[in-house]
Every structure is written in C-alpha cells, then in structure tokens.
Structure 1
Amino acid sequence: MSDLRRRLLRDLRNPLFRNGYALMANTGITAVLGMGYWLLAAHYFSEEEFGRGQALITLMRLFASLTALGLVGALARFLPVAGRRTPGLILRGYGIAAATGGAAAVGFLLTLPLWGETYSVLAGFGPSLFFLAAVMVWAVFTLQDVALTGLRQATWVPLNSVVFGLVKMGLLVALAGSLPDGGIFVSWMVPTAIALIPINWLIFGFVVPRHVRQTAGTGQNPPGLREVGRFLAGDFPGTLSVLAIVYLVPVVVAMQVGEATFGRFSMAHTLGCMIELLAMNMAVSLTVEGSFDPSKLAANCRNALRRALLIIVPIIVVTVVVAPFILHIFGAKFAEEGTMLLRLMALAVLPRVLIEIYLSALRARSEARALAFVQIGLAALVLASIAVLFPFANVNAVGYGMLLSETLVALLIFGKLRKILKYGETRQPSVAQGSHGAA
C-alpha cells in the first residue's frame, strides 16, 4: 500500500498524470451521479417522459457540440502556448461554439415536423426558445472544462461536476410533481446555466492571469489566427465525424423506435460512452503536455498508454461481467434490452485507447490532415456498419458497429502508433533523431 501511495504521489506531481487522473475522476463522478440522476428520473417520471428527456438532452448536446467538440483539440493544443492571447482564444471559442450550435438548433426548429413525434414537444415559442438557449449554454459549458484542462488546471473539473450533479438531482425531484412533462430537461439545463458564472469567474479571474504570468518568459510565440485556423481546417472535419458517432447515432435511433424503448437504449449507450470517455481523458492531457514540451512526446505517449490501460482494462472486465446487474437497477426491461449493447460498447473501448493516444499525438504535432483522415474513416466505418446491421440486430447494431470498426482502425494505425511510442515521430527518424526522441 505504501508503494502504491508513493507512486500515486509521484504521478500527481507530473502534469500529464495529474490532469489525466482528474479528467478520469471527473468521468467516474459524472457516471455515478448520472446513474443516480437517471434512477431518480425513472422513479419519478413516466417511461415516455424518461425516454423523451433522454432524447431532448441528446439532441441538445448534438447541436451544442457541432463546433464545441471541434474546438476541444484546438484549445488543448494552443492554450498551453497562447500566452497573452489566452483570454481572447477562450472567448472566441465560446462565441463560435454558441453561435454555430444556435444556428443549427434554429434550422432544426424550423423543420420540426420532419423529425418525428418524440421532438414535437419543442413546438411553440416558449419551448423552442428554451431549447435554443440550452444549446448555447451547453456549448460554453463544454468548453470551460477544456479551458481548465488546457491551462493545466483540470483538478477543478471534478468539483464542478459534483456540485452540478447534486444540484441537478435536487431540482429533478423538486420538479417531479409540478412539471411532469419537461421536468427532466429543465432540471438538466437550469443548473448548467448557473454553473457558468462561478467557473468562468475562476477561469478569467485567477487561472488565466496566472497562466499568462507563468508562460511570459518561455520564449514561445503565441499562436496566430492563421495557425489556429489551419489546425481547425484539418481537425474539425474529423471531429464532426466522431460527433456523428457519439450524438447523431442516438438521435437517429430515437427516430426509429418508441420513446420507452429509446430510454432503455439510451441508458446503456450513455454508460458505454462514459467508459469510452475514459480513453479520451488521458489523451487530452497528452495533447496539452505534448504542446508544452514536444521533446517528451514519445515518453508521454508511452506513459499515457500504460496508465490508461492500467485503469481502463479492469473497468472493461467488470462492466462485461456486471452489465445486467447495473442496468437492472433501472428495471428488468433495461437489463433485458441493454445488456448486450453495454458489453459491446465496453469491449470497443480497448481499441479506442490506442486510437485516442495516436490522435492526441497527431494533435500535439499539428498533423491535421492525418487527424481528419483517421477520424473520418472511423466515423464512416461505424455509421456504415450500424446501418447494415440495424435491420438484424436492432439497437445492438450500435455496439457491434463500434466494436468492429474501432478494432479495424486500431489495427490499421498500430504500426504508426508504435513509431510514435518509440521515437515521438510518425515516420522513421534518423539515428540522431531517434536518440533524442527516446530520451
């Protein structure tokens, strides 16, 4: 135990591990509090409202993430070296994400009759306006955690999730009697809007000024808009493709099945995505540290991969074994219809770890074209395989499609990943370069 404690304390002194562990802890906290939230929702609301709430939240996150997720890689890549331009870079990110998400939401609301019965509750000026505001709020909420991570202050993110999760659960119970239709969506968004105030006060009042002072003497030139734009031009199309896997697939499923069935699918899908998010957490920290010190990219990649596998493999094993018991907490039908999906998505996380480490190394090196190629290819494989398998496997097609596609992509990029792990390069370096990269 003492050896484990010493290793943990040593890891926490390393920004790569400290931020990575903080993001993983945040994912765990979010999963636990999220399960509590949806357990309360299943108890206090009808099956139809439960499924409708899941569908609306998923749709809102889809629109909010159209640009927000595309900016995750850019902020993680450039905030560490932004210097005096740090506040402007964050604010531009907020503005672009909110405006793009809002525009997409407006387009959806103007064509609402085309999107099925589930989303008809958004008809009318009041519900439409609330949904539009929710999209813009969530876009900023997503990026504020990325801003803290890019500034090496990810340890604040779990605290934000704890407070947000508890307030959200309390409001859910309070609204169960007074707002049986729409209470789930309202209880999700009101705490989100409130959380923007203290977190951004922390970011712009304390974290950003300290970051600017600490990086003032590094000699690095802050990134210009052209440099950031070139990076986004390559990374953004790929990120949109990944966005289609995470958020568009559930929206399409919601159009194909009833609200009660979607609620049971969405619970298993959400838990599976939480496990997959663990694979991305250490990878985001890797991008940040690779930007701070490119000479340590190979060593940081090896360390990130080892720690990620050490944590994620046991979680995958446990999930595969206890999946029916986890879902049975929400009801027998949840376990009956969602167990196979959750197991398949958990298994898909193992190849996803390799893919995320590879993508983060590419981001740290600003290799935007390769980023887009891998991400678009992965999304195309996932979406095509789900479309082919859905008539035969129903909602389980999502799990089969992700497992098969991510395994194939992991095999295809494995050779290049090995070179990065050894040299910090995507191509075979000279002897001198190899010695430097492995140091």
Structure 2
Amino acid sequence: MSATTDEPEGRFAGLRQRVTRDLRNPLFRNGYALMANTAITAVLGMGYWWLAAQMYGPADFGRGQALITAMRLFASLTALGFVGALARFIPVAGPRTPALIVRAYAVAGATGVVAALGFLVTLPWWGPTYASLGGIGPGLFFLASTLVWSVFTLEDVTLAGLRRATWVPVNSLCYGLVKMAMLVGLAFALPRDGIFVSWIIPAAMALIPINLLLFKKVIPRHVRKTESTARPFSFGEVGRFLAGDYPGTLSILASVYLIPVLIAARVDEVTFGYFSMAHTLGSLIELLAMNMATSLTVEGSFDRERLASNSRRALRRAFMIIIPIVIVTILAAPLILRVFGPGFADRGTLLLQLMSLAVLPRVLIEIYLSGLRAVGQARRLALVQICLAVLVLTSTLVLFPTTGIEAVGYALLLSELLIAALIFPGLRRMLKGGERSQTAVTAGSL
C-alpha cells in the first residue's frame, strides 16, 4: 500500500521540482507567463463572447466583432512590427530603454490613427457592416480607440522584454473582468454598440496604471541591472531591423486581422458573427506558439551563445503544451462552439478544427523566426513571413468562392505546412548548432 501511495507522491514531487526549476529560468518563466496570459484571455474571452451572444442580437454581435477586428487591424499596422523590435532591443537598450519604448508608442499610435482615418474616408467601399461608423462622433471614437489599442498592444511585449512578463496575465485578468462587467451594463444602455464600447474603454483605463508601473519602477530597475551588459545602438539600427522585420508582420496582419475585415466586407453581419467566433478561438491557440517564441527572442538577445539550446527547450515545451490543446479542440470543437448557440457550431466547427491543426506547423515556423530575430537576420526573417502572408491571402481569396468562410482554415493549414517544410532544414541546423547558433540560423532554405 505504501509503495502505491509513495509513487504518485514521488511523481508529484518530481513535477513540482521541474516546474520550480523552469520558473527560475527566464526563458520558461516569461514563456509560461505569456502562455498563462493567453489561457486567461481565452477563458475570459469565451465568457465575454458568450455573454455577448446571449445579450445582443445576432446582427449586433456580428457588427461588434467586425468593428473590433477593423480597429485592431489599424492599431496593429506598426504596433505588431514593434513587437519583434522591442523584444530584440529592450534587453540591451540600457539607459535608452525609456526613449525606445516611447518612440514605439508614438510611431505605432500615429500610424494606426492615419490608417484608420483612411478607412473612415473610404467607408462606403467596405460594405454595410461598417456603416455605423459614419458621422463625426462614431468616427472620432473609432480613431481614439485605434490609438488606445496601439499602445495597449505594445505593453505586453514591453513587459516581456523587461523580463517582467508575469505582470501580463495580471493585466489581462483585470481587463477581462472589467470588460465583461461593462458589456453587461451597456447591453441596455447601448444595445447596438455596447460590444465595441465595452471592449475599448477598459483598455483605455488600463493604460495609466500599467505605464506608471513601467516607467516608475520596472524600467529604472532594468536600466540599473543591465548597466554592465547594455550594448550601444542607434535608433537607425532599430529602423533597419524594423525595415526587415516589419514586412514579415504582414503574415500576422493577414491571417489575424486583414482577412476577417475582408470577410466582413463579403458576408452579412450574422454570418460574420459565426465566422469571427471560430476565428477568434483558433487565433488564440496560434498565439500560444508565438508566446514561447517571443520569450526565445528576448533570451536570445540577452545570450546569443545559448540560442540553440534555448531553441530546443522552447520547441519541446511548446509542443508539450500545444499538442494536447490542439487535439482537444479538434475533438470538442462542436461542443465548444455550441456553447454560444447552435448556429456557431453549425457554421464554425470546420473552420476552428482547421485553424487548430494549422498551429502545429506554426510552432516550427515561430521558433525559427525567433532565432532569426535574436541574431538580427532581418532579410531572411522578412522573406519567410512575406511568403507566408502572400500564400495565406492568395489561397483564401482563391478558395472563398467555393468553400466560403472555411477558406480561411484551409488557407492557413496549407500555407503553414508548406512554409514549415521549406524552413525545416534551416530550423534543424539551428537546433543542432550546439552553442554556435549564430551561423546555424543563417543556413536555412528560407
């Protein structure tokens, strides 16, 4: 009897020791924190959209999703480009850290607002789903929302670059809870626009405490701790990195933000609501792969000599966490979507299953891209991601007339399988590079 009881206790103790050891490693601590943030976002997000599906009509639900997607597209135009740059340069910025972050905020916000203004000027081209943005009041609110979300997008990677990613899930938890409470309150006061308003107001509220934490406490501590390891760089160097890395963000913009906007312009509001729910859940799973990759970029910038060994560890942990999630999602997709209503399960199950399956090759791609970022291989980084963006967009547009909204799932799966196959030789050399990872990363097929 004692042997059988000791065995589970021994396994539990071993697991606890392993987790404790991992949490002492900045690579895993940051990666786990960002993955925990994604899990919190997914759980609270499902609760939020379930409440929205119950309290708002199908057309209002779809329109709210469409407005949020468009706002996030414009806010992310350069904000996503700065994600890689901040993860790459914050670890070595030293005294220039505050200026680097402020410039990223300013450029991302200004670019997003200008792009959103262009969208509002050409509003008739984008179909009836976006007609509610007509008028000075709604237009100004949309522009302000884009500015807020641009900064909000960069806060997570800023904390990760400062090795304080453990604050990210705290921020997401508070934001998610306030967002849900506001959604319920606005269901009666703003039945048509409550979804969009409840999404952005809590984000604006979160900007003040998070940035006070950053600039008053976290950044000064980071500057003191990295004073001896800071590497002088010019903002021109950051610009050159962005020039190579930014085109690659088109792959994220294309699959997560631009494609939904294009779908919204081609289908009615109710159909877009069904599409968007499945697409949102699939994108959250894909985000898990990017989380560990972001942590790998940060640690690779701190210590390039250990990039190969850190890449192997990150790849193992990512697959260990993501494979069970993908399997469960594929099997339970109809049940997950049915929580929101029968129409969501009938119209979105196949899309969610295809997007979940596509995350597996995405893990390989993201680990490889992080290695390229860590050693500054901007041209190769851009090439891989531009190829992925072109493949996803082209295949979606080609398949949409025959497969409908499922075209997005087929496009992602086929495109990411092809890119994963092409970069695999380079990834393999990177993983086997021992402590000579800088040269190994540069030898890929793409």
TM-score of the two chains, using structure 1 as the length reference: 0.96
- Aligned residue in 2 for 1:344: 354
Superposition pairs of residues 21-420 of structure 1, within 5 angstroms:
21-218=32-229, 220-420=230-430
Say if 1:417 and 1:426, in contact at 8 Å, map to a contact too.
no
1:325 corresponds to which letter in structure 2?
Answer: L
Q: Report SS of the residue matched to 2:150.
A: helix
Distance 1:70 1:266 in 2: 24
Say if 1:24 and 1:282, in contact at 8 Å, map to a contact too.
yes
Distance 1:222 1:79 in 2: 12
Say if 1:419 and 1:427, in contact at 8 Å, map to a contact too.
no
Q: CA deviation at 1:244?
A: 1.6
Say if 2:48 and 2:180, in contact at 8 Å, map to a contact too.
yes
Say if 1:151 and 1:211, in contact at 8 Å, map to a contact too.
yes
Distance 1:135 1:344 in 2: 30
Superposed CA offset, 1:274-317 (max 9, x none): 00000000000000000000000000000000000000000000
- Aligned residue in 1 for 2:25: 14
2:322 corresponds to which letter in structure 1?
Answer: I
Q: Report SS of the residue matched to 2:432.
A: helix
Distance 1:324 1:410 in 2: 28
Q: CA deviation at 1:426?
A: 6.5
- Aligned residue in 2 for 1:433: none
Distance 1:221 1:308 in 2: 30
Superposed CA offset, 1:221-276 (max 9, x none): 23211211111110011112431221000000001111001001000000000000
Superposed CA offset, 1:188-241 (max 9, x none): 1110100000000000011000000000122x3232112111111100111124
Q: CA deviation at 1:428?
A: 5.5
2:83 corresponds to which letter in structure 1?
Answer: V
RMSD across aligned C-alpha pairs, in angstroms?
Answer: 1.0
1:286 corresponds to which letter in structure 2?
Answer: L
Superposed CA offset, 1:143-199 (max 9, x none): 011100000000000000000000000000001111101111011111010000000
Answer with 225-234 or 349-358: which moved more. Answer: 225-234
Distance 1:77 1:427 in 2: 18
Superposed CA offset, 1:113-153 (max 9, x none): 11110000000110000000000000000001110000000
Distance 1:228 1:240 in 2: 18
Q: CA deviation at 1:427?
A: 4.8
Q: CA deviation at 1:425?
A: 3.5
Q: Report SS of the residue matched to 1:174.
A: helix
- Aligned residue in 1 for 2:4: none
Say if 2:430 and 2:440, in contact at 8 Å, map to a contact too.
no
Distance 2:432 2:200 in 1: 45
Answer with 223-232 or 132-141: which moved more. Answer: 223-232
1:120 corresponds to which letter in structure 2?
Answer: A
Distance 1:280 1:160 in 2: 19
- Aligned residue in 2 for 1:3: 14
Distance 2:85 2:152 in 1: 16
Distance 1:244 1:350 in 2: 19
Distance 2:426 2:104 in 1: 31
Q: CA deviation at 1:387?
A: 1.3
Distance 1:425 1:373 in 2: 20
Q: Report SS of the residue matched to 1:217.
A: coil
Superposed CA offset, 1:332-360 (max 9, x none): 11001100000000000000000000000
- Aligned residue in 2 for 1:437: none
Say if 1:76 and 1:284, in contact at 8 Å, map to a contact too.
yes
Distance 1:266 1:428 in 2: 40
Q: Report SS of the residue matched to 1:256.
A: coil
Distance 2:271 2:377 in 1: 42
Answer with 418-427 or 231-240: which moved more. Answer: 418-427
How many residue pairs get aligned? The number is: 428
Say if 1:48 and 1:259, in contact at 8 Å, map to a contact too.
yes
Say if 1:298 and 1:420, in contact at 8 Å, map to a contact too.
yes
Distance 1:254 1:426 in 2: 43
Distance 1:84 1:249 in 2: 40
Distance 2:400 2:187 in 1: 35
Distance change in 2, residues 1:241/1:315 (3 Å): closer
Distance 2:281 2:94 in 1: 38
Distance change in 2, residues 1:241/1:142 (3 Å): same
Give the share of equivalent positions with the same residue, in percent. 67
Which stretches in structure 2 are left out of the alignment for 5+ residues?
Answer: 1-11, 442-446
Q: Report SS of the residue matched to 1:180.
A: coil
Distance change in 2, residues 1:264/1:428 (3 Å): closer
TM-score of the two chains, using structure 2 as the length reference: 0.95
1:425 aligns with 2:414: no
1:338 corresponds to which letter in structure 2?
Answer: G
Superposed CA offset, 1:44-91 (max 9, x none): 111000000000000000000000000000000000000000000000
Distance 1:207 1:189 in 2: 25
